């Protein structure tokens, strides 16, 4: 079965301004994060005040937008970094790795301000991050960007703004992968794990999943490093950092026991 992606990226045209689905999906993700964090506070599952939750969400939004946009141009379009396109975020173009760095900076700053441990904050952020990335990929699908590789058969999705070849809907694969990661992290969260386990588990799951998608299903439009798509090269280290972190925490726990 072949389906043509003729989706309109504009959700609402007000004449003087346009509201795009890409931004709407990110807004939905941030709202879901806001209500979930408030629920955690209400049920006293985390030791944060309502004001701290507001500040945390603001820091995440700032980190994702600034880090994601700047990281996208530094990692994938360095020659266009000083072009006006840098500020046209409604057209898409966000780097997970840049957004991750932006959020890490925000968490470090808030942890120091509140005198809390880094992992106490990051462990509740990673679940929201996985959901947010999933919604971002849905925005990529509507925009018809970050397309998949050709299926080589009589099925797939045609992205007319790219070409007429049936391709893997790699954006949907990544959205499903990230929702799956969020589900796994939520299950781990319910077991009340040692601080840091959730953060390192997120890096492990995301690093491995993103690497596989980049190698097998996503069109390598951004070039290669050492024969691998750039996205895979940037993501594989996250997997090893995650695994190493989990082993370190478990070993540390055993030594204390």
Quickly count helices (H) and strands (E) in the chain: 8, 6
What does the mean pLDDT of the chain come to?
89
Residue 231 to residue 223: CA distance in whole angstroms:
9
Instruction: Please enumerate in sequence order all residues whose Cβ is within 8 A of that of 105, keeping only pairs 6 or more positions apart, or say none.
Output: 63, 67
* Residue 82: per-residue pLDDT: 67
The residue ranges of DSSP E strands in 143-189, in sequence order, are 156-158
Domain of 53?
2-256
Integer Cα distance of 256 and 105 in angstroms: 30
> How many distinct structural domains can be found in the chain?
1
User: Which ranges in the chain belong to alpha helices (H)?
Assistant: 21-42, 50-62, 68-76, 96-114, 118-143, 170-190, 197-216, 230-256
**What is the distance between the alpha carbons of residues 245 and 206, in angstroms, rounded to a whole number?**
14
pLDDT tens over the chain, length 257 residues: 899 999 999 999 888 888 889 889 989 998 998 888 888 888 888 888 888 989 998 998 888 888 888 887 787 777 776 677 666 665 556 788 888 899 999 999 999 999 999 999 999 999 999 999 999 899 999 999 899 999 998 899 999 989 999 999 999 999 999 999 999 999 999 998 999 999 999 999 999 999 999 999 999 988 888 899 998 999 999 999 999 999 999 887 555 54
25-38 pLDDT, tens digit per residue, is: 989 998 998 888 88
Burial, 94: exposed, middle or buried (Cβ in 10 Å; 0-12, 13-18, 19+)? buried
Non-local (6+) Cβ contacts of 237 within 8 A are: 207
């Amino acid at each position: 079965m072949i389906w043509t992606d003729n989706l309109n990226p504009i959700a609402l045209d007000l004449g003087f301004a346009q509201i795009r689905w890409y931004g709407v999906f990110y807004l939905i993700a941030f709202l879901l994060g806001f209500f979930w964090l408030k629920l955690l506070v209400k049920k006293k599952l985390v030791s944060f005040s309502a004001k701290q939750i507001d500040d945390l969400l603001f820091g995440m939004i700032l980190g994702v937008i600034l880090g994601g946009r700047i990281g996208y141009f530094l990692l994938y379009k360095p020659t266009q970094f000083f072009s006006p396109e840098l500020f046209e975020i409604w057209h898409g173009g966000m780097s997970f790795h840049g957004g991750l760095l932006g959020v890490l900076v925000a968490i470090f700053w808030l942890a120091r301000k509140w005198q809390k441990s880094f992992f106490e904050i990051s462990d509740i952020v990673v679940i929201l991050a996985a959901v947010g990335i999933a919604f971002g990929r849905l925005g990529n699908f509507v925009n018809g960007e970050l397309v998949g590789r050709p299926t080589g058969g009589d099925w797939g999705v045609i992205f007319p703004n790219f070409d007429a070849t049936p391709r893997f809907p790699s954006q949907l694969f990544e959205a499903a992968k990230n929702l799956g990661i969020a589900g796994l992290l939520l299950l781990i969260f319910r077991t009340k794990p040692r601080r840091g386990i959730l953060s390192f588990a997120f890096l492990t799951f995301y690093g491995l999943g993103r690497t596989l998608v980049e190698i097998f299903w996503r069109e390598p439009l951004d070039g290669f490093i050492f024969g691998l798509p750039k996205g895979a090269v940037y993501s594989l280290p996250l997997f090893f950092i995650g695994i190493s972190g989990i082993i370190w925490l478990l070993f540390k726990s055993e030594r204390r026991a």
